[in-house]
Structure 1
Amino acid sequence: MIPSNYLEKVYAGFLGMNAGIRLGAPVEPTEWTPEIIKDVYGDIKGYLKEYRTFSADDDANGPVFFIRSLIDEKRKDRFTANDVANAWLNYSREGIGMFWWGGEGISTEHTAYLNLEKGIPAPLSGSAETNGLIMSEQIGGQIFIDTWGMLFPNNPGKAADYAEIAASVSHDKNGLYGARFMAACIASAFSAANIDSVIEEGLKTIPTDSTYATIVKKVQEFHERHPDDFWKCRNYLEEEWGYDKYTGVCHIIPNAGVCVLALLYGDGNLARTIEIATMCGWDTDCNAGNVGSIVGVLAGINEIPENYRQPINDFIATSSVSGYLNILDIPTFVKSLALLAYELAEEVAPTSLVDSYKEEEVYFDFNLPGSTHGFKTDFPFKTFLKHNQRQGYTNSGVLEIFLDRMIEGERSRVFYKTFYRREDFNDEKYKPTFAPKAYSGQKVSMKILTERLRGNEFYLTPYVRSTYNKELIELNKIVLLDNEWQTIEFTIPETDGTFVDEVGIIIESPSTLTNRAFGKIYLDEFHIYGSSNYSIDFSKQSIEFLSVTPFAHHRGNWQLKDDAMIVESETDCSSFTGHYYTRDGSINATITPLSGCHHAIIFRAEGIKRYYQVGFYGNGNVALHLQDFGLSLLTSNNFDWVYGRDYNFEVLVRGNNIRFLIDGKEIINFNDSRYTHGMFGFSMAERGSCSIKDIKVKT
């Protein structure tokens, strides 16, 4: 049976994982020895750096995207390593993001990816037989498995089995034992009494004579003899189990020792556990992330200190091929994870959970304790945002906006960020790319309740912000009523080829210095939904994170020139953007073939290896293809096309029907039911170049 507090425990585990990753990431490079970490930061008690927006990280990418194999393969009877390998290939752009592309024979993940591309199937792609023992036992075996443990609460054996299957795409031997151990620890933490019992449950799932089990037991024994000084244990690991004995870039065995050390000396305290894991050095973000997952689940949501939770603000950036999915709202993600767990357990999910999750829309209900869904303010001096568990439109939980003595002329923006740019980040780590979460033509609604304590009334103006020129597009001002729930609704206006990066409200008051506005506004059930109608003007786009906004590129050289996106490639290549759950609609673009024989529009793309494409395919030919880990021809027609001429491509999809028009003339009309939704983009199946401009999308 899935426990009644399951959703909150998953939330706590995922927040704990990300708190650990964020704490450990700045001191991950090998220059940061424990001695230098201690010299610079002392006894760590909080995040080491303040980020505008924390970078994407492989330690979060893997847990978020590799479990999608369960969704994408649509099979519950049999789960295989090949299913997970498909997720690797479908969501990872070659050489960019997702994991560390350190080179074949150096990075285990890079090596495994290349093996898969060469046709070496999983689990051979990650086996010691294929890659050698050292390569197969690097740390990646255990750092991508957190969500497998969260999917199977109180079932450490099953969590271990699934984690092993997933890890076998890239790892073997002790690499697999680490996956089993960590997933089992997370699964057992849902009801365990203490950290000792968690570790014992993890040990039950791996061979007792393995090196991995041995180091776990050795650290346990050392802790029993020296329970009050983790530095002594860290010195012991350096002397007996260090990187000089377990080679490669980042071997799993020394880091397993640090994880168990941190769990034991942290003794169930989340903050202290991730702090110890970070101070111990080696692979700090991986180790702190793993133990953060375990202790987050064990301790629960109320034991995550605010100094670790608040900077996360319920948001992480990821770096898959889907820019839409890369803007990850943590409460929404853990709800999807929980629903998947109920499905796998063949149990009925609570109605409250089912009603609070809308996969194809942005929907925030603030029901999870402490949830903020990434909302921000531009005026923190006068506007404080926090979660309020007592209030709520229909359920408990709202975003509380506290307004401190505002006067006429002061304006405070409170908003959800719907699009991210390079300027939002401090560094280039893992090259995230983004597609908007909100588009022109979509509806926005929210519930608002005002509690005015002093001063004149509050005014509220819905607005969106253009990411191109930062202009605020303000809609009609509303006078808020006191102590009465109001529904605020508006349509996102046309943005003329660019996108909105903020959707929110502007709060004002005509109050005077002698009677300043003081009070609260509660926000609930924030919702972005409905059909969109927008364009992409390349004169208003930029190249950021090696991609043209708002696209994510897989292979090829994509540049901006003369208000167009130009692609040149020596191989097949593709590029993706748009709402990941787009179903019916139309896509228009002007395509100018410059060289090569294949130039196509992609639509209903679930990833790099799953989509439809239609366009020029050989001289005098137009073809509709299905990409499903290999192109297959659906239908074709004659069409004489020439290099250097502009052609208007239009794809119309409704249900199973696909229509393709060139310059207004229907060339293809075909029915197929393989894919029902997805991104759009452009592709060339072979060497070539072309120009793309004047994109219009209507859904």
Structure 2
Amino acid sequence: MVRITWLAPEERLEHELRQLREEGAEVGAIAEAWASARGAHDDDLEALRRRALELLDVAAALSRQEASYDLPAPLARAVGATVPPPTFATGDLRDRILGAWTGRLAGCLLGKPVEKIPREGIRELLESIDEWPLRQYFTAEGVPEAVSARWPWNRASRPTSLRESIVGMPEDDDINFTMLAMHVLETYGDGFTSDDVATLWLASMPPLTVFTAERVAMQNLLAFVRPPETARHRNPYREWIGAQIRADLWGYVRPGDPTAAAELAWRDARVSHVDNGLNAALLAAALVALAFVEDDPERLVRRALEVVPADGRLAGAVAWAIDLARATDEWEDVLDALHARLGHYHWVHAVNNAALVSAALVHGRGDYVASVTRAVMGGWDTDSNGATVGSIVGAMRERSGVPEAWVAPLHGHVRTSLKGFDRISIDELVRRTVALVPRDRVRERAA
């Protein structure tokens, strides 16, 4: 029997029940029906899966969430305003985009070997070789066998992402999606649609290189479900982190313009996400865009929040995390509070990870190493959070703000299964990204 992770109906139903509880829905009847089905079909997986699909459709009626047909109200109001975007000297723009790409790659690489390891495991691995707190890429050298057995490195990333084995930027879905966003703009232009995004997903990415909400959305597309319904149909991961990790490129190409960046992110995110999952993408795009013009991390995060609904769970968690990080001296105390309040979410949910990203930015005070290491020491989605924080601080501090010790192991290139992009150089990524910034926002010399 073939079982594809994240798509199995029985797995999706379990996550849907959890999602509905987070929305405040009453799921007792469905949970009882599912328990009964598991007892009745314990030895018949096909029958169990048919029942799971039936209950997923019943569960859909309990959700208050809808596919995103319209821009969220705060973003719609901002789009309607006439605020001239800033302009950038060509050299400054390139330096910031280079810093953003480099910072994103290095931050992602930092978090890869400990993805899925909880924060207590990350700490024990580092303390066992006297490298706590985190200051550089991880290494397995010297880690006692008992410790590595208790907290095994990420199986897929260990061969390519530890200090002793890095020979360039290995493949990662976080980076694949950043390059794919660039491909969307190069192929369809600024007027691209959600259907265009979906088309390039199917044409460019092997389906098992995407996860959670994106994998379900891709299955929905192949069953002729169109965006934005692809985000809702039997998709219990619709508020997870997937859209957030896809958002950085939209900020790169709309520097200093959080509204325009968030609107591009909305067209992308609605293929697979709704509500807080979609809002996380808008927030991330706005954060990256603002990093080109804002040098105070706390002010940056507060400004970025203006593009998302203030009454949502994500906005509330991020606003609380900002205050927490500003008022708390010790990062471990910040993490204790974050995990106590938000630890009930899945480790790749949007709400907890967006709060952690925001806290790391504020507490890191604009220093690249301090910020990305804080994000990764926090656990949860370590590579995604390292990538997002690295991207933002890289844009803020330019390429010179990302220390050479973090850049050199990248060897200037990226591996990927994304069609047409394998072994692409960082310089080419930067050149092509700069070319996508509207010409009226670029000037040849500083004024």
Normalised TM-score (structure 2):
0.71
- Contact 2:87–2:443 (CA under 8 A) maintained in structure 1: no
Q: CA RMSD in A?
A: 1.7
Q: Secondary structure at the match of 2:390?
A: helix
- Report the equivalent of 1:20: 107
- Report the equivalent of 2:229: 124
Query: How is 1:365-384 mapped onto 2 (pairs within 5 angstroms)?
Result: none
- Report the equivalent of 1:264: 362
- Contact 1:67–1:84 (CA under 8 A) maintained in structure 2: no
- Report the equivalent of 1:235: 336
- Report the equivalent of 1:135: 237
Q: Secondary structure at the match of 2:207?
A: coil
Query: How is 1:9-158 mapped onto 2 (pairs within 5 angstroms)?
Result: 9-29=96-116, 32-41=117-126, 42-48=132-138, 49-50=162-163, 51-53=165-167, 54-73=169-188, 75-76=189-190, 78-95=191-208, 97=209, 99-100=210-211, 107-127=212-232, 130-132=233-235, 134-158=236-260
Q: CA offset at residue 279 of structure 1?
A: 0.7
Q: Secondary structure at the match of 2:218?
A: helix
Q: CA offset at residue 55 of structure 1?
A: 2.1
Aligned AA (2:357): C
Q: Secondary structure at the match of 1:235?
A: helix
Q: Please state which structure has a larger fraction of its residues in strand.
A: 1
- Contact 1:180–1:205 (CA under 8 A) maintained in structure 2: yes
1:306 has 2:423 as partner: no
Tell me the distance in 1 between the aligned counterparts of 2:179 and 2:300.
Answer: 23
1:279 has 2:366 as partner: no
Q: Secondary structure at the match of 2:424?
A: strand
- Contact 1:148–1:162 (CA under 8 A) maintained in structure 2: yes
Q: CA offset at residue 67 of structure 1?
A: 2.9
Q: CA offset at residue 33 of structure 1?
A: 1.5
Q: CA offset at residue 295 of structure 1?
A: 0.6
Q: CA offset at residue 131 of structure 1?
A: 3.2
Aligned AA (1:62): F
Q: CA offset at residue 164 of structure 1?
A: 1.4
1:199 has 2:295 as partner: no
Tell me the distance in 2 between the aligned counterparts of 1:113 and 1:195.
Answer: 35
Pair 2,314 (structure 1): closer, same or farther in 2 beyond 3 Å: farther
- Report the equivalent of 2:285: 183
- Report the equivalent of 2:265: 163
Which whole-Å deviations, capped at 9, do the CAs of 1:24-46 have from their partners, x for residues lacking one?
A: 000002xx221121111121110
Tell me the distance in 2 between the aligned counterparts of 1:350 and 1:82.
Answer: 35
- Contact 1:61–1:320 (CA under 8 A) maintained in structure 2: yes
Tell me the distance in 2 between the aligned counterparts of 1:321 and 1:17.
Answer: 21
Pair 57,240 (structure 1): closer, same or farther in 2 beyond 3 Å: same
Q: CA offset at residue 223 of structure 1?
A: 2.2
Unaligned runs of 5+ in 1: 101-106, 352-699
- Report the equivalent of 1:296: 394
Q: CA offset at residue 52 of structure 1?
A: 4.2
How many equivalent residue pairs?
328
Q: CA offset at residue 350 of structure 1?
A: 5.0
Pair 223,117 (structure 1): closer, same or farther in 2 beyond 3 Å: same
Query: How is 1:648-663 mapped onto 2 (pairs within 5 angstroms)?
Result: none
Q: CA offset at residue 63 of structure 1?
A: 0.5
- Contact 1:69–1:86 (CA under 8 A) maintained in structure 2: no
Aligned AA (1:68): H
Tell me the distance in 2 between the aligned counterparts of 1:117 and 1:66.
Answer: 21
Query: How is 1:595-634 mapped onto 2 (pairs within 5 angstroms)?
Result: none
Query: How is 1:314-353 mapped onto 2 (pairs within 5 angstroms)?
Result: 314-322=412-420, 325-342=421-438, 345-346=439-440, 350=444
Q: Secondary structure at the match of 1:135?
A: coil
Aligned AA (1:113): M
- Report the equivalent of 1:448: none
Which of 78, 84, 94 aligns to 1:7? It is 94
- Contact 2:87–2:442 (CA under 8 A) maintained in structure 1: no
Which whole-Å deviations, capped at 9, do the CAs of 1:427-447 have from their partners, x for residues lacking one?
A: xxxxxxxxxxxxxxxxxxxxx
Q: CA offset at residue 346 of structure 1?
A: 4.5
- Contact 1:66–1:87 (CA under 8 A) maintained in structure 2: no
Tell me the distance in 2 between the aligned counterparts of 1:186 and 1:171.
Answer: 20
Pair 94,185 (structure 1): closer, same or farther in 2 beyond 3 Å: closer
Pair 196,116 (structure 1): closer, same or farther in 2 beyond 3 Å: same
Tell me the distance in 1 between the aligned counterparts of 2:373 and 2:107.
Answer: 8
Tell me the distance in 1 between the aligned counterparts of 2:367 and 2:386.
Answer: 13
- Contact 1:20–1:285 (CA under 8 A) maintained in structure 2: yes
Question: Identity over the aligned pairs, expressed in percent?
Answer: 28
Which whole-Å deviations, capped at 9, do the CAs of 1:291-310 have from their partners, x for residues lacking one?
A: 11111101111111111011
Tell me the distance in 1 between the aligned counterparts of 2:303 and 2:275.
Answer: 19
Normalised TM-score (structure 1):
0.46
Aligned AA (2:428): T
Q: Secondary structure at the match of 1:63?
A: helix
Tell me the distance in 2 between the aligned counterparts of 1:298 and 1:348.
Answer: 17
Tell me the distance in 1 between the aligned counterparts of 2:419 and 2:225.
Answer: 22
Tell me the distance in 2 between the aligned counterparts of 1:330 and 1:45.
Answer: 24
- Contact 2:106–2:410 (CA under 8 A) maintained in structure 1: yes
- Report the equivalent of 1:436: none
Q: Please state which structure has a larger fraction of its residues in helix.
A: 2
Q: CA offset at residue 347 of structure 1?
A: 5.6
Q: CA offset at residue 80 of structure 1?
A: 1.6
Pair 265,52 (structure 1): closer, same or farther in 2 beyond 3 Å: closer
- Report the equivalent of 1:369: none
Query: How is 1:459-608 mapped onto 2 (pairs within 5 angstroms)?
Result: none
- Contact 1:142–1:176 (CA under 8 A) maintained in structure 2: yes
Tell me the distance in 1 between the aligned counterparts of 2:372 and 2:441.
Answer: 34
Q: CA offset at residue 149 of structure 1?
A: 0.6
Tell me the distance in 1 between the aligned counterparts of 2:200 and 2:282.
Answer: 20
Tell me the distance in 2 between the aligned counterparts of 1:237 and 1:125.
Answer: 31
Q: Secondary structure at the match of 1:289?
A: helix
Which of 215, 221, 228 aligns to 2:323? It is 221
Tell me the distance in 2 between the aligned counterparts of 1:223 and 1:337.
Answer: 33
